[in-house]
Structure 1
Amino acid sequence: MSDLVDRRAQKKALTRELVRTTAHRLFASRGFDAVTIADVAREADVAVQTVFNHFASKEDLFFDGRVPWVEGVADAVRHRAPGVGPLSALRAHLLEFMAGQLSSLDGPEERCYRATLDASDTLRTFERKLVFEAEHRLSDALLAAWQDPEDGGERAPLDPVISAPLTAAIWLAAVRVLIVENRVRVAQGMAPAEVAATVEVLGDRLLAHMQAGSGTFHGMITPARELPGDRQAG
């Protein structure tokens, strides 16, 4: 029975991979909007329903395996080393992430992926949803970290419920701007490795400044139970 279950699982995984690689090849050659799920199914020699058994939408199929950052930013906080504060772990992860995103533009596969994405309004809209999801996951991870007394020596905010989403939004927005604006420099002819190295230095300075100022920032956020209006109401 165990062997049968294993074989079924392996067959399912192989089918999923076949569908994904087939779709990615078609998207790269024809463009995302010109390819249908029926096209993918026909090219992979599977039923249309088989595609939907593995992927909820064509957008999910396009991004599958290509957006580890959706969970990665939160995981960097959740799985940080003992004694490392959440913002220190997040800062280190984001610096590595920025450098990797820009240096990867040296490869034809990444350039093709970006070109296909940029050419589709549908994909750009879906990517924004993924950015929001990453922000939400990071907010949850920061909140959990700041509610844990073992915070790695970093000062927790007075009201982590408010500070967590604000911090997630501000930090990820800053990183996204650095990546998006510097992709333009690569497109204009600068070497990806050179751009990545420059952004890593700039990003380190920016995030260090944001981290150093986080204590003041958090201190400005008064817990809701301490707001003047609430005290008067009581």
Structure 2
Amino acid sequence: MSEIQDRRAAKKAHTRRHIRDVAQRMFADGGFDAVTIADIAREADVAVQTVFNHFVTKEDLFFDGRLPWVEAPAEAVRGRPPGTSPLTALRRHLVEGAGHFGTLHLSAEGRSFTAALAACPALAAHEQRVIQEAERRLSAALAEAWLTDPEPGAPHLSSSAIVAPLTAAIWLAASRVVFVEHRRQDTVHGDVPDRVAALEQLIDRVLAGIQSQIGSVTGAGDGSETGWPPAAIRRAG
């Protein structure tokens, strides 16, 4: 019985990937607004209802597989190594994530994605809703982490209900502002590795400044070492 269920699940996942791949190719070629669900179903050789069985909206089709950062910041906090503070783990994740997405943006696929967002208000609005969900998940992870693993300067439990969502919003907004400006600078010259390294260093400096305000970088004034960033990045910055 389990073998049959496994085959069904694999077939369902294959169908979903096929529909998504067809749709995203069509969006890139013809524009998001110009492509309909019926067009996608016809090109993918499936029924319209099959498309809706897997994806509620066209926006879901466009973003599917492209939003690992929704849950990833919260997971970075929850899955941090022993001895690493929640905010240090978050900072490490956001810096490394900026490098990954910075490299992706400089590819043809990344530029197409950015152009589609800029051209379609519906996609931009959907992205904003996704950002709010990422903030909500990160806020919950921080509040949970601070219950058992407070870091130097972290909020008291009585105020974590306010500080956790505020921290999530500020940290994600800060890294996003830096990254979005990087996305817009298509006229900037230089090798991709150099541009991505500069992006990582800038985001790290911005987040370090924010983190220091609650005493996490310096151990609330005792000069302790957090282990992040690596010495090479500190020297480069």
* TM-score normalised over the length of structure 2: 0.85
Distance 1:170 1:26 in 2: 36
SS at match of 1:214: coil
Which residue pairs with 2:87 in the alignment? Answer: 87
Unaligned 5+ segments in structure 1 are 217-234
Going by fraction, where is helix more abundant, 1 or 2?
Answer: 1
8 Å CA contact 1:157, 1:215 repeated in 2: no
Distance 1:199 1:109 in 2: 19
**Paired letter, 1:86:** P
Match of 2:189 in 1: 190
TM superposition shift of 1:125: 0.8
1:22, 1:214 → 2: CA distance? Answer: 47
Q: Which runs of 4+ in 1 moved over 4 A?
A: none
Cα deviation 1:180-214 (Å, max 9, x = unaligned): 111122x1143443322112112222211211112
Instruction: Give the Cα–Cα distance (whole angstroms) in 2 for the partners of residues 135 and 61 of structure 1.
Output: 22
Deviation at 1:215, TM superposition (A): 4.3
Q: Which runs of 5 or more structure 2 residues have no equivalent in the other structure?
A: 217-237
**Residue number in structure 1 paired with 2:72:** 72
Identity of counterpart residues, as a percentage?
A: 53
What residue is the counterpart of 1:219 in the other structure?
none
- Kindly indicate whether residue 42 of structure 2 is the aligned counterpart of residue 46 of structure 1: no
Once the two structures are TM-superposed, the CA of residue 130 in structure 1 deviates from its matched residue by: 0.7
Provide, for residues 130-185 of structure 1, a one-character-per-residue CA deviation record: whole Å limited to 9, x for no partner.
1111111111110101112x34x444302111100110111111111101111122
Distance in 2 between the 1:104 and 1:154 partners? 35
Distance across 1 between alignment mates of 2:138 and 2:3: 39
> RMSD value over aligned CA atoms?
1.5
Report the TM-score, using the length of structure 1 for normalisation: 0.86
Task: State the aligned residue count.
Answer: 213
Q: Which amino acid aligns with 2:202?
A: L
Contact 1:102 1:193 in 2 (8 A): no
The structure having more radius of gyration, on CA atoms, is: 1
SS at match of 1:69: coil
- What SS does structure 2 have at the residue aligned with 1:81? coil
